[in-house]
Chain A
Amino acid sequence: MAENKGQEIQKQETQLQQGTEPTREGRLFMPPTDIRETNDSIVLTADMPGVKPDGVDVTLEKDVLTVCGAVADEHLGNHNGDGYAEYEVGNYQRSFALSDEIDRDKIDARMDNGVLTLTLPKTTPSQKRIEVKAG
């Protein structure tokens, strides 16, 4: 596509939280992500080419959802920068702050052709009416 020419083609590296150091070897990339919200759920879709379903690690700690993807060995290949190279292979990592409105027990993760789809169901809002009594 002609309109892409000259655009940045490199993958964007994950910026780690300030003051922290990476605990994995190699470069870490930020997967391009879509987030869509419907009435009953939030769907997060992330491109992580080269990652197999068992290479995906989704953790939820406190309010932070972290998506990690380890690139399978067979895709590490000879990306040594020789020849015509537009990309480097590295693992993926990205974190998102979640609200309490997600039903944490029902998060569903699917990996298909290098695309991770996370479905985060919303909790049914617990409606509490507080009655004001006349003193």
Chain B
Amino acid sequence: MEQFIDRFFAPWMPEAAEGDLTVAYPVDIREEDGKLAVDAEMPGFQKDEIDISIDKGVLRISAERKPEEKKGKSHLEERRYTRVERAFTLPAPVDESKVDAKLEDGVLHLEMPETEESKPKQIEVK
């Protein structure tokens, strides 16, 4: 069996054969110029398969896609889940009505303007 696989695809490096790449999709959250920016890598998802919600300061990103049709025999299986659900407590309150989301090349970009009350208030000492 091993020899059969090697005939087609002997991975260049031995590490590649072990397939220890089962990880969740990574997410970045940044605060920049009065807004929160979120980038999430979601390869293979269409935009209507992704659900985003903000509730009480918690951002929830969930997505589900149909597993690809598995034809033939598998030699290497490292690609990640067909279902993702992640939730984050946002570091600042945001204007939920002005969230901008776009999906491009398998990367989800979110921009959320911070609300006025999240900006630091000057308190005058009398």
Which residues in A have some Cβ–Cβ distance to B below 8 Å? 1, 4, 7-12, 15, 17, 30, 32-39, 42-43, 45-52, 64, 72, 74-75, 77-79, 82-87, 94-99, 101-102, 112-115
Contact = CB atoms under 8 A, between A and B. Distances in A.
Contact of A10 (B23, B27, B29): B23
Contact of B77 (A7, A34, A74): A34
A36 to B, nearest CB: 5
Interface in B25-73: 26-32, 37, 39, 41-46, 68, 70-73
Interface stretch (B11-19, B93-101, B118-126): B11-19
A12 B107 contact: no
Nearest to B11: A96
Interface of B: 7-13, 15-16, 20-24, 26-32, 37, 39, 41-46, 68, 70-81, 83-85, 88, 91, 103-107
Contacts of A7: 22-24
Contact of A50 (B11, B75, B106): B106
B70 to A, nearest CB: 7
Given A32-B78, A47-B79, A83-B30, A37 B8 contact: yes
B31 A115 contact: no
A27 to B, nearest CB: 14
A106 to B, nearest CB: 16
A1 B41 contact: no
A41 to B, nearest CB: 8
Contacts of A8: 20, 23
Contacts of A99: 7-8
Contact of B12 (A47, A50, A87, A95): A95
11 contacts: A9-B23, A12-B20, A17-B12, A38-B71, A43-B71, A47-B44, A83-B30, A97-B12, A113-B44, A114-B42, A115-B43
Given A35-B9, A42-B9, A77-B39, A50 B79 contact: no
A74 B30 contact: no
Contact of B107 (A17, A42, A75, A82): A75
